[in-house]
Amino acid sequence: MLKIGDFSQLGQVSVRTLRLYDELDLLKPARIDHFTGYRYYSIDQLPRLNRIVMLKDLGFSLDQIGRLLKSDLSADQMREMLIAKQAEIEQELEEKKARLERVATRLRQIEQEGQASNYDVILKNVEAQRIVSVRQVVPTIKDMYYYRRTLLDELYRWLEQNDIEPDGPELVMYHTAEYTDQDIDTEVAIAVNTPRLTTRATSTAAAGRVTIRELPAVQTMASIIYQGHPRMVSRAYATPEAANTSLFIYGPEAYTMQEALKVYCSIVHPEATVSGLPLWAANMIALLSRQKELENALPFFRYTGAVCETGDPQEANTLPGPPTTTLEQWCRFQAVGMQ
């Protein structure tokens, strides 16, 4: 038997912590001397103590640790639990990164107080527009980019199915009376030309989620123009050096086209296989089979094969900051959106 002080040194935890674990029934002493009240521990209790220390280091509360120890989890259950904890920690890191970015933005704003803005606010008259749209409540503001792209993809598929060409810009409208960072009532729309809306298109819209309506004219609208990646819009307001600058933005990983397609198919279309094919052969197949998707993709493959990546991403990484989404993460977003 080991006295509590000796067991404390062996397990690298304080005597006070061991007493707390005793009170919470996490780790009871092997024996308590009824005359002196001294606590004694067995060397066999060291693995349980190590497990408590490990779980606490991973961010679990003492209450959660108590439930986990009582459950006598299997290795698979422990693995699932740790995966869930990993996701929770990653979420916390994303929130802290976003908070850090807001702090940095505020510092830049303080430094720029009194300076002229690089973005001009323009007042203009906007005519009425016919749009097709999809409306959905977005869970949180950090999900906005994913949902906007998913809803726009849905609209473009609907336009293609009904043989309608877009006739204007993509639009995003927020139907909220006040600012909120969760449960955001969002409508994503694409402008279309009224004569091109057939009876068939109108009926399919009525049967599904797509809505066809007219946005009223606005006598005076305040607008600001930003060019760049949607996720970096907010950074543009606080980064005057980025104005009138061509930025080359690269992802955090380097892939050949074939490697990227293999990653995409393994996640989004696991039933598909990827193999190499010369462009001339792909062009012949497209002509003979009249595959519209392949015909549309060939100019892109020709361009990337001839030009490859150009430009230095250093300036983009310095000004708005480097992108962090990996190809695998993006593919998993696509896979979820297709379910």
pLDDT at residue number 86: 82
Between CA 53 and CA 49 the distance in angstroms is 6
217/145 same-domain check: yes
Within a domain: residue 200? yes
Among 173, 200, 223, residue at a domain's last position: 223
In a structure prediction context, what are the per-residue pLDDT tens digits for the chain, which is 339 residues long? 888 888 888 888 888 999 898 888 888 888 888 888 888 888 888 888 888 888 888 888 888 888 878 776 677 777 777 788 888 888 888 888 878 877 877 777 677 666 655 556 778 888 888 899 999 999 888 788 788 888 888 888 888 888 888 887 788 898 887 878 888 999 999 988 765 555 555 555 555 688 888 889 988 888 776 655 555 554 544 455 555 555 566 666 777 777 787 888 888 888 777 777 777 777 777 776 777 777 777 776 776 666 566 666 665 566 555 666 777 777 776 665 555
Domain of 153 in residue numbering reads as: 122-223
216/164 same-domain check: yes
Number of H helices, E strands in the chain: 13, 9
215/266 same-domain check: no
Looking up residue 19, the CATH number of its domain turns out to be 1.10.1660.10
128/217 same-domain check: yes
Looking up residue 166, the CATH number of its domain turns out to be 3.20.80.10
Within a domain: residue 54? yes
Do β-strands 39-41 and 211-215 pair in parallel, antiparallel, or remain unpaired?
unpaired
Burial 197-231 (b: 16+ CB within 10 A, else e): beeebeeebeeeebebeebeeeeeeeeeeeeeeee
207/272 same-domain check: no
Between CA 104 and CA 101 the distance in angstroms is 5
Among 204, 223, 242, residue at a domain's last position: 223
132/206 same-domain check: yes
215/307 same-domain check: no
275/321 same-domain check: yes
Within a domain: residue 77? no
Within a domain: residue 188? yes
pLDDT at residue number 26: 86
Distance from chain centroid for Cα 54 = 29
* β-sheet bridge partners, residue 182: 140
Task: Give residue 37's region: left, alpha or beta (phi > 0; psi -120 to 50).
Answer: left
* Domain count across the chain: 3
Task: Give residue 165's region: left, alpha or beta (phi > 0; psi -120 to 50).
Answer: beta
Between CA 264 and CA 162 the distance in angstroms is 28
pLDDT at residue number 266: 83
Between CA 332 and CA 330 the distance in angstroms is 5
pLDDT at residue number 238: 46
Within a domain: residue 189? yes
Phi, psi of 9 (to 5 degrees): -65, -40
Among 198, 223, 248, residue at a domain's last position: 223
326/274 same-domain check: yes
Within a domain: residue 274? yes
pLDDT at residue number 205: 54
185/131 same-domain check: yes
264/333 same-domain check: yes
* Cβ contacts of 90 within 8 Å, gap of 6 or more: none
pLDDT at residue number 30: 86
pLDDT at residue number 186: 92
In this structure, the chain runs to a length of 339
